Amino acid sequence: MYVYFNGSVIKKEEVLISPFDHGFLYGLGLFETFRIYDGHPFLLDDHLARLNDGLTQLNIQAQFSRETILDAIQQLLAKNGITHANIRLNVSAGVGEIGLQTDSYTSPNIMLFARPMEPAGDELQEKEAVWLRVKRNTPEGEVRLKSHHYLNNLLAKQEIKHKVNCEGIFLTEGNYIAEGIVSNVFWVKNHTLYTPSVDTGILNGITRQFILQLAQIHQLDIQQGFFEKVSLLEADEVFVTNSIQEIVPISRIDKKSFPGKQGVVATQLHKDYRNYSSFLWSRKELKGELEC
């Protein structure tokens, strides 16, 4: 496999990173994962906007444009001979002295990894879910960044072991619904779409934001807030989202069954998702596109 590393596409075995990189020493780095549909990076502008904002907060001097990253993606896909892929864009702070640094990081390490995927299908793929014993930790700052600090997610993944078709759902310390290990959580009751507020400390997922905008267009009532488990367990349907797996209906949580991939709202949102995944750069284009 070839990777993009600091401006060059090289074999993965050739990538060398100093142990003094503060991404390694202190977890100071950010990443974005997004999906390539027949060569198109879906919602790339939104991913880059979140990444650029986070880099500013971490005092890492790097900002990325669509043109720069698209060029890197095209080089990477061509070298690996793929058109449908899962991309991870990783920015690590770079080398520094041992100790916490307050000065700006001026030479970050930039990497892109591409993993081949099958072309996206029209059929929804459902999963089961469980409530996690591990609680969702609070963000390190005002909002949760998509950072290298992933221990909470790793502990949760170890809790559910190797259950491929299962997602674990975090609760906060106050026992409010938070998010999945690698997903945001939604449920529907009486034409209202519910999802935890970002004030619970969850990651404001790019797919989460896209789904909320689709829901507005379909004139669903939307409730974002602090919800206990009973709210979800009384739902008509439940689904989770992320940028790689898209929309994943939940068929069961513990002993409670749900419609899974037969859910009406999940099915409609997935249809919309498929319609736009091959050309949309940002959710901001969505409203105008639907009105055409």
Q: Which domain holds residue 58?
A: 2-116
Q: What is the pLDDT of residue 292?
A: 31
In a domain, 229, yes or no: yes
Report the distance separating Cα 112 and Cα 2, nearest Å.
9
In a domain, 121, yes or no: no
Looking at the structure, do residues 163 and 59 belong to the same domain, yes or no? no
Q: What is the pLDDT of residue 163?
A: 85
Instruction: Give the whole-number percent of the chain exceeding pLDDT 70.
Output: 98
> What number is the average pLDDT over the span 108-112?
98
Report the distance separating Cα 193 and Cα 167, nearest Å.
20
Q: Is the pLDDT of residue 155 over 50?
A: yes
> pLDDT digits over 239-258, tens only?
999 999 999 999 999 899 99
Report the distance separating Cα 200 and Cα 222, nearest Å.
17
Strands 177-180, 166-171: pairing is antiparallel
Report the distance separating Cα 176 and Cα 189, nearest Å.
18
Tokens of 160: 């559910």
Looking at the structure, do residues 244 and 160 belong to the same domain, yes or no? yes
Q: What is the pLDDT of residue 18?
A: 96
> What number is the average pLDDT over the span 206-221?
96
Q: What is the pLDDT of residue 159?
A: 97
Picking from 83, 116, 149, the residue at the C-terminal end of a domain is: 116
Q: What is the pLDDT of residue 137?
A: 97
Instruction: Give the whole-number percent of the chain exceeding pLDDT 90.
Output: 96
In a domain, 286, yes or no: no
> What number is the average pLDDT over the span 36-55?
98
Query: In terms of pTM, does the model score above 0.85?
Result: yes
- Residue 174: give its domain's CATH number: 3.20.10.10
Report the distance separating Cα 19 and Cα 34, nearest Å.
27
Report the distance separating Cα 108 and Cα 118, nearest Å.
32
Looking at the structure, do residues 173 and 83 belong to the same domain, yes or no? no
Q: What is the pLDDT of residue 164?
A: 84
Cβ–Cβ < 8 Å for 43, 210: yes
Report the distance separating Cα 143 and Cα 75, nearest Å.
33
CA angle 162, 164, 167 (to 5 degrees): 95
Q: What is the pLDDT of residue 288?
A: 45
Closest by alpha carbon to 245, among 124, 156, 82, 132? 124
Closest by alpha carbon to 237, among 129, 134, 138, 146? 129
Give the number of domains in the chain. 2
Looking at the structure, do residues 37 and 140 belong to the same domain, yes or no? no
In a domain, 208, yes or no: yes
Q: What is the pLDDT of residue 290?
A: 45
Other CB atoms within 10 A of residue 70 CB = 16
* Mean residue pLDDT across the chain: 96
Walk across the sheet containing 2-5 and list its strands: 8-11, 2-5, 109-116, 85-92, 29-37, 40-41
Q: Is the pLDDT of residue 289 over 60?
A: no
In a domain, 83, yes or no: yes
Picking from 58, 84, 116, the residue at the C-terminal end of a domain is: 116
Q: What is the pLDDT of residue 291?
A: 40
> What number is the average pLDDT over the span 174-202?
98
Cβ–Cβ < 8 Å for 108, 129: no
